[in-house]
Amino acid sequence: MTRIEEVLYTGKTHTTGGREGAARSSDGRLDIKLSPPGTSGGGTNPEQLLGAGWSACFIGALGLAARALHLSLPADTSVDAEIDLGTTDGAYFLQARLFVSLPGVERDVAHGLIERAHLTCPYSKALRGNVDVQTTLV
């Protein structure tokens, strides 16, 4: 396990009630209701939150990869994340798909950026070896 030498930011949240509860950040910027996936509840769920956070981080990693090659990311770069919650042999697991759009970037360059971003994105690192992940250029 790699230890952090310098902490750049600590996100602090307080959650109550599990999948049928609520979550709030210490600074109040995040204040949401939670509801189980696939229900008509009025909140979001952990899988959607993971997808949103990971997508944002992945775009940041794409930007770093592009800068290393003296390129700029297209303004309309996007990542659509699909996070599956499922079971195998009665145990819960996640699997994920990231659909990356890099309009105007040559396919071979785009694939290289995606590969490099997946190696450097902290979310990708955290999930590597634990979650089946597919990345796709769209």
**Which structural domain, as residue segments, surrounds residue 16?**
1-44
pLDDT score for 38: 86
Locate all alpha helices (DSSP H) within the chain, ordered by sequence. Answer: 46-68, 107-120, 122-127
Q: What is the CATH number of the domain that holds 53?
A: 3.30.300.20
Q: Scanning the structure block, which residue is given the tokens 């750049």? A: 8
pLDDT tens digits, 94-125: 999 999 999 999 999 999 999 999 999 999 99
pLDDT tens digits, 72-83: 999 999 999 999
User: Total structural domains in the chain?
Assistant: 2
> Whole-number mean pLDDT of the chain?
96
In terms of domains, do 13 and 75 share one? no
Residues whose CB falls within 8 Å of the CB of residue 44, separated by 6 or more in sequence, listed in order: 32, 33, 34, 35
Give me the mean pLDDT over the 54-83 stretch: 98
In terms of domains, do 127 and 76 share one? yes
